[in-house]
Structure 1
Amino acid sequence: MEVCVIGSGYVGLTVSVGFASKGNSVTSVDVDEEIVEKINSGNAPFFEESLDEMLEDTTDEGLLRATTDLKDAVGNSSIIFVTVGTPSKEDGTIDLSSVKKSAEEIGQPLRKKDDYSVVVVKSTVVPGTTEETVIPILEEESGKRAGEDFGVCMNPEFLREGRAVSDFLNPDRIVIGEYDEQSGDLLSELYEDFDAPVLKMDLSSAEMVKYASNSFLATKISFINEIGNICKELGIDVYDVAEAMGYDERISERFLRAGAGYGGSCFRKDVGALIKSAEDIGYPLKLIKAGVKVNERQPLKMLDLLEKHVGDLQGREIGVLGLSFKPGTDDIRNSPSLRVVGELLKRGASVKAYDPKAMENFKEVYPEVDYCDPEEVLNSEATLIMTDWGEFEELDYRGKVIIDGRRIEKAKETETYEGICWS
């Protein structure tokens, strides 16, 4: 199929590469000429496991190209994906300006098209957005009727940074919110080579699936961190508890790794947007809000443990291993490390830090940090482990003071070791 993907961030570029790898002809659209040039040369503008290799393959094979010409891309595509960002506003609502602009720009070339095309909203938007905001813009700009002259679907993404390519190619499920049956059928054809159940529903239900899923996972992490905090006080290993819990098929072992809290753009943004949407209709989400509060407090427990071992942080040299919010990505958005490093500096400590991929991004926020190799970080008076990169299992921790927020087994070899939720 001829596919157009508007936006080339984590979601957009992964979607573009993924569909191109299945033999579709894909055009990736971005307003940034430098990003377009990088994509066309086979280089991803950010780090994501396996993405560079697949991007190089699909561009070399002529299956994927990037452009700034949205009108041409839309005019030559039968399925148009909108994958632009929906960042949070200060009040927790999402900023729809990029989605609205994309809908306006899609509507213009849509006006000139004779064939039936489907516009697919893949950006994360609150329930009701596609039907109440996107469709009216498309109809006004195109002069056509949704469900008659063109189709509209909502197709939420469930990609984990660090595993986005694998998640796209091997999904747990494919959710299609359809405005009309013809729209859903055409989008289903695009997914026919994927080995996953296809769940069709209305637009708003599909939008809610993403928010409900992320809010549940975020709350599950906060839950096990609460249990971990109790276990710490009682001298219990929370990982033994979590392992036993995970054998219950109603619970499963996934997302039961207690630690320094979750980060990234999706959980915080999506949970915040759901909370705000619920408040707007007069239904406060008490359970989900409590989970958010647990996550906000969790990284600061690392500092409590640190001060227990080294005392006042004024003038002390502290190491930080791991800056990205999770391994496998260079993304630092809402990373617990941001909170911890900021607090270390505020309390008068100097900081040495290392991350395999995220140091350049982190340096833009905290240029005063000394970025160095992991061995030098470990020569600090004490070191905090904030991200569970695999290479951290290969370091020599003997004789070091280690406060571990991610359960690095090798770190336990030192005499002065303390886990955030375990001994």
Structure 2
Amino acid sequence: MTAHFDVILIGGGLVGTSLAIALNHSGLKVGLVEAAAPRAGSAPREDERNLALARASVTALETLGVWRHLAGAASAIREIHISRAGEFGSLRLSAAQQGLEALGSVVPARDLGAALLRELEQCTGIQRYIPAQLLDARAGADAVELRLSTPDGETTLSARLLVGADGTASRVRALCGIGVDEVDYGQTLFVGSIQPGTALDGRAYERFSDSGPVALLPLAERRAGLVLSVAADEAAQLAQADDAAYLAYAQQRFGWRAGRFSRPGRRSAHPIRRVVAQALTAPRCVLVGNAAQTIHPIGAQGFNLGLRDALQLAERLIHARRGGGDPGSAGLLQAYAAGRREDRDGTLAFSDGLVRLACNPSPLLRPLRSLGLLLLDGVPGLAGAVARRGMGFRGQPSTYALGARP
């Protein structure tokens, strides 16, 4: 027998779970299809990412009730220092200059996943299918018919709206016939943690060079999250390096602003690709998060952008429910895509343009980059605009990001 839903979400990652939580008690019948059963406090050990959450994301997670589960894991970002190796310009963004306590916070990805799971487990309005794999999806005039593979065999569901939150290699996107534009940056990202010689005290660093960006993020207990991009043809050698060689390489790339690096934690490597869906919607289907766009992690834009996708979609679905509307109507999906355009296009252009400009080795660009950073640092209005966008307030923020529910 086919179970019928208003909305079915495919993907129980950070963005998909956030969307499910936002739709709890919405009055919509919601199903969440998850490929693997998570356990609280035990995200994959190979996930050593530390996520720099924009202020808008922190506020939204507070509104959703998730932040209370992160009390001891979050580290405030009160200042951001941006520079390029070998050049004299730099930019400092300060929460105090904006009249705020923090620009955002750094949270280990494992802790955020565990916090989302704890909140999801309290959501009585979400029916979970776990573990389950999407086999097929066919959109009709009024609903999408889905086939799932589960440990008990195949099952069929129907939904008025299908949401693909299933990551970069999205099955939903493929079944809907949505193509992608893809760029291989020829870089591999190493993520982990180290002990800096100087306490960061709420300061985050973004350091650019010909070899790619390096970020240092404040963590609890005087630790720092290290985000190190290297050329793809150097990745295998660095992955096999011992701790001493790894620290020496990271120190050479970052410099000595935070003192001597020591005590490296586990590290993991991730090839960097840009994969952007050519459309956000198809009949009775919408994409969010990495299924919609996987971007260069420079400036920690990826999860923040995906969360904004999820929350603006949730807001439209809740308003449609109150007005008796169809959650999968063409009008609603068109309005959602149009509403995401400014934020999405601007963030995509910023992340791609910044990595190409800041890491370009051309000597002709050096004085221009230095001058640009000096101008931004010296003109409060310009620096403030950069800070506001970095805090996630590009375009029209969702009500969640402003501290309220729709």
Asked whether the two chains share a fold, i.e. TM above 0.5, the reply is no
Q: Which has the larger radius of gyration?
A: 1
Higher relative contact order (CA 8 A, sep 6+): 2
Q: Which has the higher strand share?
A: 2
